[in-house]
Amino acid sequence: MEELRVGFAFCGSFCTYDMAMTALEEVKRRYSDVTPIISEKSAATDTRFGAAHDFMKEMQRICDKRPIDSIKAAEPIGPKKLLDVMVICPCTGNTLAKLATGVTDSSVTMAAKAHLRNGRPLIIAVSTNDGLSGSAKNIGTLLDKKNVYFVPFRQDDPAKKPTSLVADFTKIPETIEAARKGEQIQPLLLG
């Protein structure tokens, strides 16, 4: 297990939480210190994909620490330099917009802002139904930002959801390693 302090943040896109939990488990297997972070809305919203409390319990079980679930708890990430790398998985269109425009109104956006102030990698695993429409501009803005890296993504279902994008969550460890070297891997999966 490698010594690396990883923040792993969850926001919306509840339909991808099972895949995100699998990615969290893989990250925890590889790295010694993983801190779960969850947006306030996600921490309080039960959906057809599961109960918020159950997701929180699973994050805590995997990481052996309570998730950060408030702006107040996320703010020290920057000043105390608590993370070496931070992952947002899944990262919704809403969160993409906030990151692209500097809005800090949730635990996830505060954690990202606080983390980026130290010049350390922020890794985005996009999952949004409007990636090729309303969120496209924000993805473009973030692709051009220093210390922001994207997990390779593709169209989710071109026939039924032509503007939807989703990252390949299995590529999160590979993206972490590339980002640590300052390398951006090809973000768009073709074919």
Q: Specify the pLDDT at position 14.
A: 66
Q: Specify the pLDDT at position 185.
A: 82
Q: Specify the pLDDT at position 189.
A: 65
Take residue 65 and report the two structure tokens written for it: 């620490």
Which 3 state secondary structure label does DSSP give 144?
Answer: coil
Q: Comparing C-alpha atoms, which of 174, 169, 165, 170 is closest to residue 142?
A: 165
Q: Comparing C-alpha atoms, which of 79, 107, 184, 81 is closest to residue 142?
A: 184
User: pLDDT in tens for each of the 191 residues of the chain?
Assistant: 789 999 999 998 767 788 999 999 999 999 989 999 999 888 777 777 777 788 889 999 999 999 999 999 999 999 999 999 999 999 999 999 999 999 999 999 999 999 999 999 999 999 988 888 989 999 999 999 999 999 999 998 889 998 989 999 999 999 999 999 988 887 776 55
Strand partners, 68: 37
pTM beyond cutoff 0.95:
no
Query: What span, in angstroms and rounded, lies between the C-alpha atoms of 148 and 112?
Result: 10
Q: Comparing C-alpha atoms, which of 75, 2, 62 is closest to residue 35?
A: 62
Q: Specify the pLDDT at position 76.
A: 97
